[in-house]
Amino acid sequence: MTVKIGLIGYGHLGKFLKEQLEKDERFTVTKIWNRTVGPGSSILPLSSLDAENISSVDLVIEVAHASIIANFGVLILKYADLFVGSPTALADNVLYEALKKSVNDYNRRLFVPCGAFWGSNDVQKMANLGTLKGLTITMIRHPSSLRLEGPLKELSEKAKLSDSAVVLYDEVGEGEKVVPQPLKQVGSPTALADNVLYEALKKSVNDYNRRLFVPCGAFWGSNDVQKMANLGTLKGLTITMIRHPSSLRLEGPLKELSEKAKLSDSAVVLYDGPVRALCSLAPSNVNTMAAAALAAHTLGFDLTRAKLISDPSLLRWHIVEIDVEGPDGFHTRTRRENPAKPGAVIGNSTYHSFLASVQGIRNRELIPHNLIKILLRIFFSE
């Protein structure tokens, strides 16, 4: 089935979208609306955002301005699904509630990009489980990259004259609680480091039309890494796990090395190399690394780097650090500190993470996969 697309906004982003979508026979761009329209152009003016034109498409993609969502969002959802490229519009709670009502009333779908919000799926899991206690987003940019209004505009002009960083805004607001959605998982993915077994399982999935799931709770940003792998932009991935020696269950030469580490007063690097070799030496401790190698499928078990560190000072925590490398110097680092009792193999948050993974076993792909990939590629480097 061909997905008929309507684009609102025909600047650099809109043109790129049209170009990419036209390369795939499963999609067709049938309508384009823009603020300015040249003589003899097939592009429609915004005044033609009406029921007749909107009802001829399946999905409207807005990449113009937040005012479009404010002025036309409810109307669009009456006749088509909507991809909101300017989600700042949703800060207007009245509009947000109206859009949610339209989604329910007309059985539509509302999509919001989250490429630059690394770990968005993980944050959403915590919110669904009621374990999210706080969230702070800090954006640091050159003054010339900011497009501000009101008092922030004046403050930004002054910041341009400064030689140091200036905080333009720092405020905490009242958040809206997220109601949890009504809702064959491999809980020991280190087993999949055995390539013969992995290929046999994949064959069984295809032969018997089954599904194979892997939990990834401690691998913060797993969906984002997988997006990069799908798009061919993932250049490197390193997973570092730091634990108290008593929390490690090791085999072979690592077991002896770990015993020596218990006598040390400082952190000791037990392993630094490919994930595949570590899985058989620490099968109970490095499931997070195995999940990472699966998500980063272009790197896999042999090119995903694993570091296992024994630290006698970590009496209350299990720490996972994730370093992701992409094109043109792109780099993201996350650090997850999971409360854990001394000697515990898994941390406190792991229980909730595993539960969220089980609850998430359902088909989330609401529109064709290739379109998802194209949209995510655009908003990834936001």
Q: Which of 287, 125, 275 is nearest to 214 (CA)?
A: 287
pTM here is 0.65
How confident is the prediction for the chain on average, in pLDDT? 79
Q: List, for residues 250-285, the tens digit of each pLDDT value.
A: 888 888 888 887 888 888 899 999 988 888 888 777
Query: What's the pLDDT score for residue 348?
Result: 57
Long-range contacts of 340-348 (CB under 8 A, 24+ apart): 340/243, 340/247, 340/316, 341/316, 342/244, 342/246, 342/247, 342/315, 342/316, 343/244, 343/246, 343/247, 344/247, 344/318, 345/247, 345/249, 345/284, 345/285, 346/318, 347/218, 347/317, 347/318
Contact between residue 3 and residue 371 where contact means Cβ atoms under 8 Å apart: yes
Question: What is d(CA 250, CA 285) in angstroms, rounded to the nearest whole number?
Answer: 8
In angstroms, the first-to-last Cα distance of the chain is 31
Mean of the pLDDT values across residues 9-15? 88
Q: Any idea which residue has 């490197």 for tokens? A: 236
Question: What is d(CA 108, CA 165) in angstroms, rounded to the nearest whole number?
Answer: 44
Percent of the chain with pLDDT over 70: 81
Query: What's the pLDDT score for residue 8?
Result: 95
Amino acid, single-letter form, for residue 281: L
Min mean pLDDT across 131-135, 214-218, 362-366 is at: 362-366
Q: Is domain 3-112 given the CATH code 3.40.50.720 in the classification?
A: yes
Percent of the chain with pLDDT over 90: 22
Mean of the pLDDT values across residues 67-80? 94
Question: What is d(CA 234, CA 221) in angstroms, rounded to the nearest whole number?
Answer: 13
Query: What's the pLDDT score for residue 47?
Result: 94
Question: What are the distances in angstroms from CA 16 to CA 19, 22, 24?
Answer: 5, 10, 14
Residue 373 has pLDDT above 60, yes or no: no
Residue 336 has pLDDT above 70, yes or no: yes
Mean of the pLDDT values across residues 85-97? 85
Q: Which residues contact 303 (CB under 8 A, 6 or more apart)?
A: 274
Q: Is domain 189-359 given the CATH code 3.30.360.10 in the classification?
A: yes
The domain limits of the chain are: 3-112, 189-359
Residue 75 has pLDDT above 80, yes or no: yes
Question: What are the distances in angstroms from CA 360 to CA 109, 181, 209?
Answer: 18, 10, 19
